[in-house]
Amino acid sequence: MDLNGYILAFDLDGTLVDSAPDIISALNKVLQEQGITPFHLDEARPMIGRGAMELLRRAYRLAGHPLAPEDEAPLLARLLELYEVDIDALTRPFDGLVEALDELEAMGARFCVCTNKHTRLSVLLIEKLGLTKRFGSNRGSDSVEAKKPAAGHLQACIDDMGGDIRKVIMIGDSETDFLTAQNAGVPSILVTFGYSEGPIRELAADVFIDHYHDFVAAVKACINSQNRLATGEASR
């Protein structure tokens, strides 16, 4: 299949990379500095995905210590400081990802990162993992007026690459990513191994994958479905 012109837009945490161990480690250090009991990794994993500030708010709320507005900025700065130090200590791309990107790139596809992580940290992590050259755009929540699930966040990534939104697929692990795709009018592929807050398969994504071994086939299925719909609409 010829994928020239297609852009695959990836969420980062829980989709491209398993970053929960490093993110929750930094969160727990902040909590411990405040005398608050840290979270178990599995307990905190579903809190990832809406950005660092929301992670802090939810963690403190669940711990029974809701954040006062004046405490948010300094605690966020501390979280990001601790996280950056060990950003790639345990974080790794999900199994099969690199091989799938190789295959899709050979077909002509291009890739971007559309994440609610801070852009500087997203760029740093991708660089540390040796993936920088893979992505034509890497935008975090601080680089756009409205973050995911706002369609403008995804559109900004596509504009960076001179792409056509009609040839975009959104790949993610959460309702936020699914809604981003819906709002932008593009297909979605959701991974089942990420950090979704609820049952991922309850969302009406175009395709679900349990492993990146299935990803190339999922992309082809999305494009074939798009083409069939376009053909059907054109024949009416």
CB 50 within 8 A of CB 14: no
DSSP string, 151-198: HHHHHHHHHHTT--GGGEEEEESSHHHHHHHHHHT--EEEESSS--SS
Q: What are phi and psi of 75, to 5 degrees?
A: -70, -35
Point out the catalytic residue in the list 2, 11, 88, 142: 11
Which residues on neighbouring strands pair with residue 170, listed in sequence order? 9, 188
Instruction: Tell me, yes or no, if 11 is annotated catalytic.
Output: yes
* 11's tokens: 């969420």
User: In angstroms, rounded to a whole number, what is the distance separating the alpha carbons of residues 196 and 190?
Assistant: 10
List active site positions: 11
